[in-house]
Chains A and B, each alone.
Chain A
Amino acid sequence: MDRRTVFNGRLLPVMLLLPQLLLTFFFFYWPAGEAVWSSLITQDAFGQGWVFVGVDNFVDLFTDPLYLDSIVRTVLFCVAVSVLSMGIALGLAVFADRSISGRGVYRTLLIWPYAIAPAMSAVLFLFVLNPRVGLLGRWLNHHGVAWDYTLNGAQAMLMVVSASAWKQVSYNFIFFLAGLQSIPRAVTEAARMDGAKGWHRFLTITFPLLAPTTFFLVVVNVVYAAFDTFGAIYALTQGGPGKDTETLVIKVFRDGVINQDIGSSSAQSVVLMAGVIAITAVQFRFMGRRTVS
């Protein structure tokens, strides 16, 4: 792992490292430390003084039914987004892996949505599914379906799940396709000669061989759904109607930035950090090093 030949010098490497270390300190460690500290104290109403309250903010948080609801909602949201986007991506990848004409074109036309921001995905969905101007949304209402995600919580959830999953399909598609292409043809050919039928061959040979890719994507998709979908949800529903689409990140934003409740939002930040650390630890435990942003 370590190389034999290196350059001499002490000052130069430190200078090279300095920009990254300074930024890391000021924008990662300091805020993280501040979040932990703020979560352990409470400030008086005028921000003049503070009292150390230990884990009180956390106790408040975990006895607050609204927070617990938000946790459950976030978990369901993550599962729905991951299953939907990975399922569609895997289906497309399996067919894009076949030797058919125009594969390259199909691939490009399925990869470009990688470039779409979650917030932009929400905007596109609005034009399709808004009950008043959206093409499909209006059609639904004309045909006896009372579709209005600005009033109906379940429909709102369906909407933010779809918009978030839609944008993520191409990322998953790229990885599933790469995974499929790395499976030796000899293996699938051998299964074919043994008489395994298409669907059966997929379940018993292909899918198990894709397990590392699948596991990696589960982690990436859960992190994506938990954090990166802020823009999609905020643009479509702002967490509403009521709190029906309020995930944990939306709640931190609402409590901290809009309602200025520093104690609670800091405690929420610390809980989220713990969550990310747990997910990362699981990933490293089972996968070894991964280097994708």
Chain B
Amino acid sequence: MRERPDFLAHGVLILGVLLFALPVWLVFAGSTQDSDAITRGELSLVPHLSNLSVYARVLTTRTMGTEPVWHMLLISFGMALAVAFGKIVISILSAYAVVFFRFPFRQVAFWLIFVTLMLPVEVRIIPTYAVMADFGLINTFTGLWVPLIASATATLLFRQVFTAIPDELVEAARIDGAGPLRFLWDIVLPVSGANIAALFVILFVLGWNQYLWPLLVATNQGLDTIVIGIVKMIGQETQTDWSAVMATTVLALLPPVLVVVLMQRWFVAGLTEGEK
């Protein structure tokens, strides 16, 4: 007994899809159009596919006084990967210590990390800047990512995952004479693979999308991320090379969107799993 198609559901969902897709399509179409025409108010939804060379132009040359896009993409990639791997590594290590060892002040250490859950970077902008200056980290690539990798949420997640590993596995490993580091490498990391993959997506996107932090600690143009670069471009209201700005926008959106779409399965499961 097959019912007729659910037209209402399809209609609503198509509207939703368009709500997100249309602005991006508009920017793609605009990137292939003439900048002067866009300035005159002639932006349209029809791309001129013969003008795709704008992408080569923005990738390799300085447009509107910013670094070439390849350079800004490189900084963004470096920052996103460093934030993701950095957070994952130090959170795995600290969660492992808290779950698989007994030592004095174990609970204190855990709570010290846990409390920072309440302090997003936005609320401690000014004093953190002062600390960064003391360390000489202003305008360095290290300054872009190191201060961001402390993570209470990732530590909590891994603690939860590690706690679920059965005692029998640990006993078996000990009988086999495996030390704690060997157990971490051979057993704990492989069984946490799905969680690590999910967290990687979330953290890569988080790192890629940083705006306030790089704005604050890296005023040197050589360290501009792609997001910083675009906002600088649109900030200049006169003489805007619109097609270059739009091509840059498309290039800035692609990497994080690809990561989310390609790793969707792990990402969605990992995101909502912590919720049970």
Q: CB within 8 Å of B: which residues of A? A: 1, 3-7, 9-10, 12-14, 16-17, 19-21, 23-24, 26-32, 34-35, 38, 88, 91-92, 95-96, 98, 100-102, 106, 108-120, 122-128, 132-135, 138, 166, 169-170, 174-175, 178, 213, 216, 223, 227-228, 230-231, 234-235, 249, 252-253, 256-257, 262, 265-266, 269, 272-273, 275-277, 280, 289-293
* Additional 6 contacts, C-beta under 8 A, given A21-B109, A230-B211, A252-B123: A91-B16, A100-B5, A117-B209, A133-B242, A231-B211, A252-B126
> Do residues B13 and A95 form an inter-chain contact, with CB atoms below 8 A?
yes
- Measured CB to CB, the nearest residue on chain B to A39 is B127
Chain B residues near A223: list those with CB within 8 A.
Answer: 120
Contact B30 A26 (CB under 8 A): no
Residues of A within 8 A of B171 (CB): 5
Q: Given contacts A115-B256, A235-B234, is CB(A32)–CB(B120) below 8 Å? A: no
Q: When A and B form their complex, which 7 residue pairs have the shortest distance between CB atoms, in order from nearest?
A: A117-B209, A231-B211, A31-B127, A115-B256, A13-B101, A13-B97, A23-B150
- B234 pairs with A14, CB closer than 8 A: no
B interface majority secondary structure: helix
Contact A6 B102 (CB under 8 A): yes
Expressed in whole angstroms, the minimum distance between the Cβ of B16 and any Cβ of chain A is 5
State A225–B157 Cα separation when bound (angstroms): 24
- The stretch among B41-49, B58-66, B67-75 that forms the contact with chain A is B41-49
* B contact residues around A289 at 8 Å (CB): 156
Contacts of B97 in A (CB 8 A): 12-14, 16-17
Mark out the residues of chain B between 11 and 44 whose CB falls within 8 Å of any chain A CB in the assembled complex: 12-13, 16-17, 19-24, 26-27, 30, 38-39, 41, 43-44
Main secondary structure of the interface of A (DSSP, over half): helix
Q: Which of B163-183 contact A (CB under 8 A)?
A: 163, 167, 170-171, 174, 179-181, 183
Contact B118 A272 (CB under 8 A): no
Q: Which residues of A contact B91 (CB under 8 A)?
A: 20
List 24 A–B pairs whose Cβ atoms lie within 8 Å, in order of A's numbering.
A3-B99, A10-B101, A13-B106, A19-B90, A27-B131, A92-B12, A92-B16, A100-B9, A108-B261, A109-B21, A110-B13, A110-B17, A112-B260, A115-B259, A120-B253, A133-B43, A135-B45, A170-B20, A228-B122, A231-B231, A257-B125, A257-B216, A293-B153, A293-B206
A162 to B144 alpha-carbon distance, docked (Å) = 29
